[in-house]
With several copies, the nearest count.
Chain A
Amino acid sequence: MLDIITTQWHPLLNGLWNTILCSLIALVGSLVIGTFFALLEISKYRIVRLIGSIYVEVFRNIPLLVIAMGFFLIVPMYIAKISGFAAGTIGLTLYTSAFIAETVRAGINSVEGGQLEGALANGLTHAQAMRYIILPQAFRVVIPPLGNQFINLVKNSSVLAFVAGFDLMYEGNLIANDTLQTMPTYFIVGILYLIITLPLSYYMRYLEKKLA
């Protein structure tokens, strides 16, 4: 196992870096897009709500691999050239955003109705009430479930392995195939994932306690 680390540290580090990069981009992207669709889902207008829920249901109910493959194989045929890393990251962003939309929507619903009424009666418009009062409180409530989504996101970034995105899992597969030391290689890959996800999950737990 040590010899894998000594001889393969370069691709492993490269994979780790790409996994982190993809996760960060998808994290920000899915948070923005997810919040947007959460707001659509609670709109006054039925047609807007419908658009929101179609988006969420489609991306939530199709495997991430299929979405990423779609971007990698089909988009370049008709639309634009796209690298495996980009295809995987976009796929991951859209996929995760559907889950985040659900989470944020639940968070908004969990802010008690009095907060909205208080703001409206105080003269704020609906949009202002959302922006200054409801969303800030909703985000506080959704931090724990969002944390879980982010951990899932990091793990799901392994979809890059299927679209040649040079992430940790991709490099791990190659090393396992070259050296045939399959179990030790995946063991190391597992530990590298834990190095990202475990601190994240303990930080989330800490935040959850602090905000409770």
Chain B
Amino acid sequence: MSMIEFHDVQKYYGKFHALKDINLTIDAGETVVLIGPSGSGKSSLIRTVNGLDPIRDGKLIVNGFDLADKKTNVNLIRKDVGMVFQHFNLYNNKNVLENIMLAPRIVLKRPEKENRDLAMKLLEKVGLADKANNMPAQLSGGQKQRIAIARSLAMKPKCLLFDEPTSALDPEMIDDVLNVMKDIAENSNMTMLVVTHEMGFARDVADRVIFMADGRIIEDDSTEKFFGDQPTTQRARDFMSKISGH
């Protein structure tokens, strides 16, 4: 069963053609890593999936809903599709626990006790149970990102989107976040679409690697093929050699 289907999707910012002829199907439970140079359209693609950015043309079906259809209630999709941002976007005016409990309470009307129990369980899972009452400003970047992941998980989504979740972090914080992500990928049947430059993570966890450039999908390989042989295209090979080691 497919979770995300792009059919000839086109996206524009004004006159700028940001996504060109995107065709892509991601099955439920798959973990897909999306890479490519800056400005290639990775964020644009991932943000269309939960309707943060609109598409101009084509068909985009997420969790059975058609995003190109104006009548689709985008909130129904967002309930089941969580997102984790590069800059965390924790609610600055709420403490950690409230960050996690807010959406389930308001959107899912989850009973308070159940809500709190799940929130605490998730905080333990990401290793931050002791920070429940901290404000976001009192956390390090790596801690913030783990809270952001817990916040998304609290909605019990079927699918999670990650847009460079570790690239704003100090290097020694990165593993904590990646480990949480690995745990989700391996121990649940979440669908995951991850934009990242962490090749170790991609190699270990991804089922597929997609390479984008200039708004197009240039490669769509199994992880074995991408890392084992070499990418097919010259573009992707150049890119890989440039980022190796950073």
Contact = CB atoms under 8 A, between A and B. Distances in A.
B36 interface: no
Interface string B74-106: 010011001101011111111000000011001
A23 to B, nearest CB: 28
Contacts, number: 62
B24 interface: no
A118 B151 CA distance: 10
Contacts of B106: 124, 128, 132
Contact of A122 (B88, B92, B93, B155): B155
A121 interface: yes
Given A115-B91, A117-B85, A132 B78 contact: no
Given A115-B92, A137-B93, A121 B82 contact: yes
B87 A122 contact: no
Contacts of A120: 52, 78
Contacts of B152: 121-122
A122 B52 CA distance: 11
Given A123-B75, A123-B155, A118 B107 contact: no
B10 interface: no
Interface residues of A, number: 17
B50 interface: yes
Contacts of B89: 114-115, 117-118, 121
A70 interface: no
Nearest to A126: B75
Interface string A115-156: 101111111110010001100110010000000000000000
A140 B52 contact: no
Interface of A: 114-115, 117-125, 128, 132-133, 136-137, 140
Given A119-B103, A121-B50, A122-B152, 11 more contacts: A114-B89, A118-B90, A118-B91, A118-B148, A120-B52, A121-B85, A122-B83, A136-B93, A137-B92, A137-B93, A140-B93
Instruction: Give 7 nearest A-B pairs by CB, closest first.
Output: A118-B89, A121-B83, A114-B89, A123-B107, A122-B103, A123-B78, A136-B93
